[in-house]
Chains A and B, each alone.
Chain A
């Protein structure tokens, strides 16, 4: 695939490196000449100096034949415009934008960007997961289905300990996919599976029923 990466910061650098390793044809567009130099010295001639939001620059590098454009600069507005120019002027089939301000994720979606990745949200989730008392962790979002996969930890004081799964009134549309006990092997829960202290329950739910699921599983 021919992939254009807009923004040659750390993220752009490592992304390009990974994509090159997978055998793709990659080109980075970066404004800062020093960054360009470093990338070209280390990765071979894959970086051109220019503004990836400017239609003229994108025309020069053959954006019309690109399979994908990934915008990973540090500015949300630049990422939005780079993707929109690629999409509407050059008909690039897939555009991915990095989003710094989590609020902008919904805006970008509305404005036609195919995929948004919120670096801030990902870091926040990872940190929250490390806080021992944090009850619910997002593992994965299945966007086209409006579903997500989450993990709920069963704390020692949960009133559901010792109860079988069939006695829990789970939110409609939710499914328990896996239970990972503290010391034994993971198992797929059946209606008779009993919850134990320290279990990690992996569930598929809709984003709205997050709170309900947490409350049902922990009995609070």
Chain B
């Protein structure tokens, strides 16, 4: 599977490493070269510097042939916009997006973006831990 990941933070870098180990072809994007230090030394995929909202950069990252796109930057709106570009402009079959704001996550899920809110997931997990 060919995967494009936008945002090389802790989650992005770790996901890139895991998918790479599983034998997938991974391209990871970040606006800051320094972020790529988080990638594991064994990472054999591609790291590209630039803004994932830019169509030209997305094409360079091979989004036209990608099977999946994952948006993991710090900005909810950036993730939302990039995901919609991937889904509606480039017709990527699987688009997954992180949205911290639970209300926005809910809205965009109904609009067809597969969105996860770490806020909700983590709060629920903590509640379960504390109540058990």
**Chain A interfacial positions (CB closer than 8 Å to B):** 53-56, 75-78, 80-81, 84-85, 88-89, 101, 103-104, 107, 110-111
Docked-complex contact B107 and A54, CB < 8 angstroms: no
In the assembled complex, B53 has its CB within 8 A of some CB on chain A: yes
**Interface residue ranges, B against A (CB under 8 Å):** 53-55, 75-78, 80-81, 84-85, 88-89, 101, 103-104, 107, 110-111
Are A78 and B89 interface neighbours, CB within 8 A? no
The residue in A53, A81, A104, A107 that gathers the most chain B C-beta atoms within 10 A of its C-beta is A81
Task: Tell me the minimal C-beta distance from A111 to chain B in angstroms.
Answer: 5
Chain B residue with the shortest CB-CB distance to A58: B103
Residues of B within 8 A of A77 (CB): 53, 75, 77-78, 80-81
A79 to chain B, nearest CB (A): 9
Contact of A81 with B103 in the complex, beta carbons under 8 Å: no
Seed contacts A53-B104, A80-B81, A84-B107; 7 additional CB < 8 Å A-B pairs? A53-B77, A54-B104, A55-B101, A55-B104, A77-B80, A88-B107, A107-B84
List residues of chain A with CB within 8 A of the CB of B104. 53-55, 81, 85
Q: How far is the CA of A53 from the CA of B103 in the complex (A)?
A: 10
Please indicate the chain A residues that have their CB under 8 angstroms from the CB of B54 in the complex. Answer: 101, 103
Top 7 A-B residue pairs of the complex, sorted by shortest distance between their CB atoms: A55-B103, A77-B77, A77-B81, A81-B77, A77-B78, A78-B77, A80-B81
Closest to A106 in B: B89
A107-B85 contact, Cβ under 8 Å, with A53-B76, A77-B75, A80-B77: yes
**Cα(A84)–Cα(B110), bound, Å:** 12
Neighbour of A75 across the interface among B55, B77, B110, CB < 8 A: B77
Instruction: Give the interface SS of chain B, mostly helix, strand, loop or mixed.
Output: helix
A87 CB, min distance to chain B CBs, angstroms: 10
Q: Known interface pairs A54-B103, A54-B104, A55-B103. Does A81 touch B55 (Cβ–Cβ under 8 Å)? A: no
Instruction: State the CA gap A39–B76 with chains docked (Å).
Output: 27
Chain A residues whose C-beta falls within 8 Å of the C-beta of B85 in the assembled complex = 107
CA distance A127 to B2 in the complex (A): 44
**Looking across the interface, which residue of chain B has its beta carbon closest to that of A111?**
B84
B88's partner among A54, A101, A111 (CB-CB below 8 A) is A111
- Nearest CB to that of B51 among chain A residues? A101
Partner of A88, one of B77, B101, B111: B111
A56 in contact with B53 given A76-B81, A81-B81 (CB within 8 Å) = no
Q: Which residues of B contact A85 (CB under 8 A)?
A: 104, 107
Residues of B near A88 (CB, < 8 A) are: 107, 110-111
CA A132 – CA B38 in complex, angstroms?
53
Given contacts A77-B77, A77-B78, contact A110 B89 (CB under 8 A): yes
Residues of B within 8 A of A111 (CB): 84, 88
**Chain A residues positioned under 8 Å from B80 (CB to CB):** 77, 80-81, 84
CB distance from A51 to the nearest CB of B (A): 9
Give B107's nearest chain A residue, CB to CB: A89
Q: Give the residues in chain A near B81, CB-CB below 8 Å.
A: 76-77, 80-81, 107
* Whole-angstrom distance between the Cβ of B22 and the nearest chain A Cβ: 31
CA–CA, A76 to B84, complex, Å? Answer: 13
Q: Do A56 and B77 touch (CB < 8 A)?
A: no
Closest-CB distance, B81 to chain A (whole angstroms): 4
Residue of B nearest to A89 (CB): B107
CB contacts (< 8 Å) of A103 on chain B: these are 54-55
